[in-house]
Amino acid sequence: MIKVLANDGISSQGVLKLKENGFEVLTEKIKQEDLIENINNKNIEVLLVRSATKVRKDIIDSCPNLKIIGRGGVGMDNIDVDYAREKGKHIINTPAASSNSVAELVFAHLFGMVRFLFASNRQMPMEGDSKFKELKKSFSSGKELSGKTLGIIGFGKIGQEVAKKAIGLGMKVLAHDKFSKDTDITIHFFNGDKKTFNIEINDLTTVLKESDFITVHVPKTDKKAIIGANEIGLMKTGAGIINTSRGGVIDETALMFSLDKEKLAYASLDVFEDEPNPSIHLLMHNAISLSPHIGAATNEAQDRIGIELADQIITIYK
């Protein structure tokens, strides 16, 4: 029986589908330093990970029986993909399964930013009973998203889902992507109607200068941050920025400086440079809305991810 190790977990629906097709699924978490020994001793042929487990050259070289390496999600920066393929391994991921979940989190943060929910949720438990009127006054200068411009950096599947939701809210969308051309996106409505919009791909400078809010959906690279001090300097004074992609694509030091100097009004971070130990200064900053890397962490997305991984594994073996 072919053994699958889902080291960072997999949905029950994914497990069920694999078992129905004759696979044995192991879900007990194995420490990074013990992976090679366990993969070899248990003769594991399929290794599934999310963002926690790293699959580097040492595992690829030391585990000759490993045939498939799968990533539940989009980004594969925790896997040495090119090297694994050179060694004959199949690499799979689920680029579309979590797009809607991440896009919805973007707007959870956006709404929270413009109505100061991230700050009021911190202060109301401590001072709501004694300083209600003062808090009401301090949080009474919120903004509406309707009519504002959302800049989307990275216009793949997640960026396109973000655009659909922005259009539904009455926002203008500006998009930038190094690898995409102008893109048609179709919004499907509850009654079966649908409408298609053409989104023009702009240069980065235009998107930064003209947007009220920026949301970033690009993979992490080994190079410098995509959004650093220079890029923040191009943004509107009082703008906001959201990162639900990968820690490091925004320069966190430059971000905090811009917030301190009130160049930017607020920021939202679901991902951090030093996960799982992000900077305490970042976490304590009073202008940043925070979540612990939960973009794809919805029940619906995890079910889609599990089923999609199972389907790809089954297809490869068949």
As annotated, the active-site residues are 246, 275, 293
Q: Which of 191, 180, 229, 235 is nearest to 211 (CA)?
A: 235
Q: How far apart are CA 226 and CA 125, in angstroms?
A: 37
Q: How far apart are CA 104 and CA 71, in angstroms?
A: 21
Rg (alpha carbons) of the chain, rounded to whole number:
22
Q: What are phi and psi of 185, to 5 degrees?
A: -125, 140
Cα angle 280, 284, 285; round to 5: 120
Half-sphere exposure of residue 255: CA atoms within 13 angstroms, side-chain side: 29
**Exposed / middle / buried, residue 12 (Cβ in 10 Å: 0-12, 13-18, 19+):** exposed
Token pair, residue 247, equals 């820690």
**Exposed / middle / buried, residue 120 (Cβ in 10 Å: 0-12, 13-18, 19+):** middle
* Chain mean position to CA 253: 20
Q: Which of 228, 230, 209, 201 is nearest to 149 (CA)?
A: 209
